[in-house]
């Protein structure tokens, strides 16, 4: 009889069906359905949450990546001026450990300043970079310049000679700085002295274009100009106050920083470059460390909370299988008396729990992917309904509701990045948890004594 049960998968299947069928099936199926629903919802929510946070991180990194330099080199001597910046750039470009990791190396000027219009002053960050070709600027081929979205081509052709500036696109809406407007810039110029303090350079500039990076902070506060014009404006003839590097990958930033310091500390470099020891290096990852860390922390905490849904479903599975075993004690005793091995009893109830887990994982996975892809549309419909019904309750005092304020991160739509390997990992974990949840009640069922079970039931 043991041989017959072991060698016939059909008998095993029929045995499983026999054990599951009884007068209390309706009650048990309700418990199984609850576990199934909770687990499916948990898997779907986990996929949606992680897809949104992955999308936020990816979009934020892309906007930061496009918005400015990746590595910045500055000097703490000579008032921050780097006079030998051309030599330093050649050293970096010729370094065998660095040239394969970087895209471009440029000298530039960056400083805080004030922009004036109609007797109102606005704080801005002024950045000056080399613009060798207007065509390359317009076609977005300059690595150190953000994407131009609105411009006057004729004025851009004189960018290296005339007093023209390019503003962030958000400044057009915030301060009403339109194309062709005349603005006054005030910046610190020259050296600091105890008698005179800080000298101020003031000059009128004309808005010749707007750029857009996708980073709200960047697009609402930065002003770009060409390097030759800035050197005259800041009174920094033939010098810059920073050297900027565009890297090929975010993963190369930390390595490139270490190799830059190794280069600066080399004997040949120190002999050729004045004040080589005063050079410092910082990366965009360090500047945005708090923002990226906060986003990662939110992602981790919410993922843990949502994962508790799956654990709760697994605990419900334990109770469901345990109730099933109690209801089937007599049937289990009869089958064991007929020769069904304890290992098969264990396998039947464990597979029963795993089957529920597999179905819940598949349902939750498909539902999660669908919700993640449709979430922006769904939220849009909800906003429309709220804003449609809201004025009827509050009257003219109603303020339109925006459930996902996109200006916080300056995204055109809710970013979603669906990671297929992660979905596979989540569904696999849910299935394994279901099997573990069903194993312990199944082990108790396999250990039942057939004689005592039949006699007592």
Q: Are 226 and 131 in contact (CB under 8 A)?
A: yes
Dist CA 432 CA 38 (whole Å): 16
Dist CA 210 CA 223 (whole Å): 9
- Quote the pLDDT of residue 219: 83
Please state the three-class secondary structure of 191-231 as a single string: EEECCCEEEEEEEEEEEEEEEECCCHHHHCCEEEEEHHHHH
Residue 242, classed as helix, strand or coil, is: strand
Bridge pairing between strands 222-226 and 120-129: parallel
> In tens digits, what is the pLDDT along the chain, a chain of 457 residues?
444 444 445 444 445 444 444 433 333 456 667 777 777 888 888 888 888 878 877 777 666 666 567 888 888 887 788 888 888 888 888 888 888 888 888 888 988 888 887 778 889 999 988 888 888 888 877 777 888 888 888 888 888 888 899 998 888 878 888 888 888 898 876 555 545 556 778 889 999 999 887 777 788 888 999 999 998 888 888 889 889 888 877 777 888 888 889 888 888 888 888 777 888 888 887 777 776 677 677 777 777 776 777 777 777 777 777 777 777 777 777 777 777 777 777 777 777 778 888 888 888 888 888 888 888 788 778 878 887 877 777 666 677 777 766 655 556 667 788 878 878 887 888 888 888 877 777 777 777 676 666 666 5
- Quote the pLDDT of residue 24: 34
Provide Rg for the chain, Cα atoms.
34
- Quote the pLDDT of residue 417: 81
Q: What are phi and psi of 444, to 5 degrees?
A: -65, -40
Question: Number of helices and strands (H, E) in the chain?
Answer: 17, 10
Q: Are 209 and 140 in contact (CB under 8 A)?
A: no
- Quote the pLDDT of residue 165: 92
- Quote the pLDDT of residue 26: 37
| pTM (global) more than 0.95 | no
- Quote the pLDDT of residue 398: 72
């Amino acid at each position: 009889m043991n041989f017959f049960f072991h060698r016939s998968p059909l008998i095993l299947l029929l045995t499983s069906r026999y054990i599951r069928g009884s007068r209390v099936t309706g009650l048990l199926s309700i418990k199984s359905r609850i576990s199934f629903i909770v687990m499916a919802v948990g898997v779907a929510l986990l996929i949606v949450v992680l897809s949104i946070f992955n999308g936020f991180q990816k979009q934020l990194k892309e906007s930061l990546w496009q918005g400015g330099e990746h590595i910045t080199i500055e000097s703490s001597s000579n008032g921050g001026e780097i006079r030998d910046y051309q030599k330093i750039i050649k050293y970096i470009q010729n370094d065998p450990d660095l040239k394969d990791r970087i895209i471009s190396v440029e000298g530039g000027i960056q400083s805080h300043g004030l922009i004036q219009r109609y007797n109102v002053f606005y704080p801005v960050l002024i950045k000056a970079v080399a613009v060798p070709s207007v065509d390359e600027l317009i076609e977005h081929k300059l690595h150190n310049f953000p994407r131009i979205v609105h411009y006057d081509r004729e004025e851009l052709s004189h960018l290296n000679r005339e007093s023209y500036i390019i503003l962030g696109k958000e400044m057009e809406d915030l301060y009403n700085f339109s194309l062709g407007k005349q603005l006054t810039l005030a910046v610190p110029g020259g050296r600091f002295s105890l008698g005179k303090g800080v000298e101020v350079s003031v000059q009128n500039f004309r808005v010749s274009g707007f750029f857009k990076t996708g980073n709200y902070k960047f697009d609402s506060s930065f002003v770009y100009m060409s390097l030759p014009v800035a050197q005259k404006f800041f009174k920094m003839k033939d010098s810059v106050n920073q050297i900027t590097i565009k890297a090929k990958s975010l993963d190369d930033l930390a390595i490139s920083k270490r190799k830059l310091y190794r280069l600066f500390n080399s004997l040949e470099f120190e002999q050729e470059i004045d004040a080589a020891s005063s050079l410092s290096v910082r990366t965009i990852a360090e500047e945005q460390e708090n923002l990226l860390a906060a986003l990662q922390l939110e992602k981790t905490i919410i993922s843990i909370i949502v994962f508790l849904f799956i654990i709760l479903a697994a605990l419900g599975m334990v109770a469901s299988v345990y109730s099933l075993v109690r209801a089937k004690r007599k049937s289990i005793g009869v089958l064991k008396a007929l020769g069904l091995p304890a290992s098969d009893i264990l396998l039947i109830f464990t597979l029963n729990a795993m089957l529920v887990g597999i179905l819940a994982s598949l349902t939750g996975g498909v539902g999660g992917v669908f919700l993640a892809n449709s979430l922006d549309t769904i939220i849009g419909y909800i906003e429309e309904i709220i804003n449609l019904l809201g004025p009827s309750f509050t009257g003219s005092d109603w303020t339109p509701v925006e459930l996902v304020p996109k200006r916080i991160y300056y995204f055109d739509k809710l970013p979603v990045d669906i990671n297929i390997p992660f979905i596979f990992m989540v569904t696999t974990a849910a299935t394994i948890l279901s099997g573990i949840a069903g194993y312990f009640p199944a082990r108790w069922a396999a250990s039942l004594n057939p004689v005592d079970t039949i006699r007592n039931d």
